Chain A
């Protein structure tokens, strides 16, 4: 044993060199159906993945069973469909859930999914204390950015508090919610907004728990210790690292000062990360590999603010769903970083750095002001309902896009150094992308139909009625949900029961009053064409921006709405989760000159077909354009169906998009 103390080494109590344990390696995964996802998980675990991160499909997230009419185009597309306990039995077949750290990225229906997990554990005879993991359950980011909310803010918060109360007493190692700022960055949040909105959300959760007054002082401390965070790390990795340090320090301060938490370990900022996929490009997609590596450094380099769990997107995520090989490549990056390099052998390497410290300080100061603003407003829930946070995000996003458009923000391969050799990674027979077999939904539907016939119908009905009554009485819903799970109640039935009592929420779109900061030649060209149209037709061109289906990623739709207004269009934008029927009805009643659809979930073919059927019903010939993550291999089919123009992430130049649209509108025979 060396007597000399080396500041640069991490040692155990005996002075022996002892590197940190690596973070949990996860892959956000799930697709097709429970059976296919189960196979995928088992393969990933055998490759050295150390935790599960379950991606659910959109119907499951929005509280619809697969046999609901809106589910059809989405089954198994962006995650695994879960209809009842039967699907969980298949999903976790041969996986020891008592040894897993399972993260479920689900919000509106998180109580339901946790109930299914509990029911599965009890069926397997496992003590609940052994269950370890996280349900995301952060509704605020859903209202702001991702769109898979169901109930109004107050009721959603009540469900979250129910879960804290239940988990602390029954599943103490479970994180009932996970404050997620990930999607805020995807929606354009600056580091200050990510800090302040996430922390204001955590404050809202803790305040609601305090208000319920269901814990002793000690239990409340433990409860604070259960709050975890899920963040995003972008490409400006030094700033991102400082953001993580600011998070850590601010959480320590908030828990100590606002909530009087005495035990140090319950004040620790615990977080998982998925690094940013917003910045990934469809152009020269192989460059994304480097972006992902650099973004990982932002959350791993700094020992005082290192992530607890990490998941990386795949290099080709801007194109479509990644294939198993692509996910394996991402996992290998983590393993190289953790096991090959010396990263985990050192104490915090930035301690004492003037640059880092002053940057952290600056971020903290700005974020504190913003948090104060939200708290003064009445807290995060109020700032959601009055549209404040949403409009701030849309503003940041328009600023960011304006900068990309004006080349002030360089994106390699997109607006600079755009010429390159085509990637040989894309030349595989599958074109380098993954597609869900449309027939696989049948399997899910069969399992669902069978579960419904096999269950005790009276018991299922009674447990649903009990759940409704409990909701009306304001009781903790967890035990009633678990009873539903055991009675083979379906996801849609569970969500509908609460919809009936709580209602559904329709948040502000955030686009009112937004401005783009673009004023170059292209803008005047487009405005010129819009003026010419107006002169020829006697009124401004009108666009209906439609966001159909359950896919709630509305950034694209919002940016098009704002750009169209900037160009001089009259814009009708009514937010997310509209049916093709509703979109066409708007376009018909408003006599729109063009419909612009935004679809990112891969369901474009099904939805476009429904839309044209509806246009035929009204005998309306309104041109339709579409934007989203749409593989080139689908272009021809979409055009054949009648789509006039297709925009993908490659088309980042807003005014070029608007120019194409006004050109289409201008050559159409005038409809009035």
Chain B
């Protein structure tokens, strides 16, 4: 058994204080620890420490970016990074890129960094790759906690996932603002309409708009598709559509300003509950869910769900997880 670096709370608090200053290596080490199995206890310490050291921190905005492979998400992010440095000189951003490659050995090749040229030695941008670990949902089991951690250190946290169907939309559940990236005339429109994914993201990007006419025709096609959805959900306003081209360096400034000015935050209670449900389902299946639903606190949770802004205290994820774990242990015994 390898010795753990965090066997004392002192070293953790030191790492956290360095991380809060934006030091890359401490941030990287903390993420690795979050990505380790059976890390509930560690997370409790970590988030406690984060709040202790920086109690009034405003949490960073989470931006989900998903889309089919080849839609050019990483290159687009690379351009966003470059512009970000000029546009938001006093802000910091992190990127978590989830790579779906995996094989029998369990190993993976994480290639997303290839598409992003990052400034050297600049603490304002941090990039981290994550293998999806054979999860078809697009998100790695630890992504949620990594994001939650990064939100306390950075002003903006981008999460890039490959999305090809219904499952991959889960990124929108943990982001305040999520984009679906498409290619012009990729035939994506019809596919997404069928799978219902069109209703999920807050905004759309038609990337690789290198040619004006193709870009415009795709734009109008998508717009009319969205209007069709609007008929089903009449109270929703039409989500914005961005036309971008990395090679022609077009539309990226508009996209970035939109992100930088975005104010709306999603309710974190809902997020916590969604993630908890998902975790229980992964670990204990439907049986676990049924136990949880019978829980006293879950009724309380239902109340929160119905009235998320009802003045109830924010749910603490680790607390909820621990409550469930102890409950399930009594059931197993």
Contacts and interface: CB of A to CB of B under 8 A. Distances in A.
Interface of A: 152, 503, 506, 508-509, 511-515, 527, 530, 534, 536-540, 561-562, 564-575, 579, 581-582, 585-586, 588-591, 617-620, 669-672
B37 interface: yes
Given A567-B105, A570-B108, A572-B129, A538 B29 contact: no
Given A568-B107, A575-B114, A669 B28 contact: no
A577 B117 CA distance: 12
* Interface secondary structure of A, over-half rule: loop
Nearest to B75: A506
Contacts, number: 123
A579 B118 CA distance: 12
B127 to A, nearest CB: 6
A617 B25 CA distance: 10
Nearest to A545: B109
Given A537-B2, A574-B114, A672-B4, 10 more contacts: A512-B111, A540-B106, A540-B108, A567-B105, A573-B111, A586-B127, A591-B29, A617-B121, A669-B3, A670-B3
Contacts of B117: 506
Given A506-B115, A591-B31, A670-B3, A618 B25 contact: yes
A586 B120 CA distance: 10
Contact of A590 (B28, B38, B118): B28
A661 to B, nearest CB: 13
B28 A589 contact: yes
B268 to A, nearest CB: 26
A511 B109 contact: yes
A633 to B, nearest CB: 32
A672 to B, nearest CB: 4
B24 A589 contact: yes
Interface in B111-147: 111, 113-115, 117-118, 120-121, 126-129, 131
Given A527-B105, A538-B36, A669-B2, A589 B127 contact: yes
A539 B105 contact: no
Contact of B38 (A506, A538, A561): A538
Given A619-B25, A670-B3, A672-B36, A561 B109 contact: yes
Contacts of B105: 527, 530, 565-568
Contacts of B247: 152, 503
B28 A509 contact: no
Nearest to A516: B105
Contacts of B106: 534, 540, 568
B110 interface: yes
23 contacts: A503-B247, A508-B114, A511-B109, A512-B109, A515-B103, A538-B37, A538-B38, A565-B103, A566-B107, A570-B129, A570-B131, A572-B129, A573-B109, A574-B114, A582-B120, A585-B121, A588-B24, A589-B28, A590-B110, A591-B32, A670-B2, A671-B29, A672-B4
B37 A509 contact: no
B1 interface: yes
Interface in B4-58: 4-5, 24-25, 27-29, 31-33, 35-39
A671 B109 contact: no
B114 A671 contact: no
A508 B109 CA distance: 13
Contacts of B101: 512-513, 565
Given A506-B115, A536-B2, A570 B107 contact: yes
A509 B109 CA distance: 11
Contacts of A571: 107-110
Given A540-B106, A670-B4, A589 B32 contact: no
Contacts of A562: 109
B23 to A, nearest CB: 8
Contacts of B1: 536
A503 B129 CA distance: 26
Contacts of B109: 511-512, 514, 561-562, 565, 571, 573
A586 B113 contact: yes
Given A582-B120, A670-B3, A567 B36 contact: no
Contacts of A503: 247
A574 B121 contact: no
Pairs of residues from A and B, 4 with the lowest C-beta to C-beta distance, nearest first: A538-B36, A670-B2, A591-B28, A565-B107
Interface string B228-249: 0000000000000000000100
A505 B113 CA distance: 15
Given A561-B109, A588-B24, A618-B25, A579 B126 contact: no
B2 A579 contact: no
Contact of A671 (B5, B108, B121, B129): B5
Interface in B73-111: 101, 103, 105-111
A540 B108 CA distance: 10
A539 B36 contact: yes
A636 B98 CA distance: 40
Contacts of B111: 509, 511-512, 573-574
A566 B114 CA distance: 20
A588 B29 CA distance: 9
A556 to B, nearest CB: 16
A247 B120 CA distance: 47
A645 B268 CA distance: 48
A585 B55 CA distance: 30
Which of B25, B107, B126 lies at the interface centre, i.e. has the most chain A CB atoms within 10 A of its CB?
B107
B121 A589 contact: no
Contacts of A671: 5, 29, 32
Contacts of B27: 589
A619 B24 CA distance: 10
Contact of A672 (B32, B118, B126): B32
Contacts of A672: 4-5, 29, 32-33, 36
Nearest to B4: A670
Contacts of A669: 2-3
Contact of B5 (A527, A561, A670): A670
Which of B1, B4, B118, B129 lies at the interface centre, i.e. has the most chain A CB atoms within 10 A of its CB?
B129
A156 to B, nearest CB: 14
B118 A585 contact: yes
B200 to A, nearest CB: 27
Nearest to B33: A672
Contact of A564 (B35, B37, B107): B107
A562 B129 CA distance: 17
A566 B27 CA distance: 28
Contacts of A506: 114-115, 117
Nearest to B119: A585
Contacts of B3: 669-670
B129 A590 contact: yes
Contacts of B110: 570-572, 590
A80 B27 CA distance: 44
Which of B5, B27, B103 lies at the interface centre, i.e. has the most chain A CB atoms within 10 A of its CB?
B103
B120 A585 contact: yes
A670 B37 CA distance: 15
A79 to B, nearest CB: 27
A546 B107 CA distance: 18
A539 B106 CA distance: 11
Nearest to B36: A538
A391 to B, nearest CB: 12
Contacts of B31: 591
A257 B261 CA distance: 60
B257 to A, nearest CB: 23
Contacts of B28: 588-591
B120 A620 contact: no
Contacts of B37: 538-539
A590 to B, nearest CB: 6
Contacts of B39: 538
Contacts of B108: 540, 565, 570-571
Nearest to A615: B25
B150 to A, nearest CB: 12
Nearest to B69: A512
Contacts of A570: 107-108, 110, 129, 131
Contacts of A536: 1-2
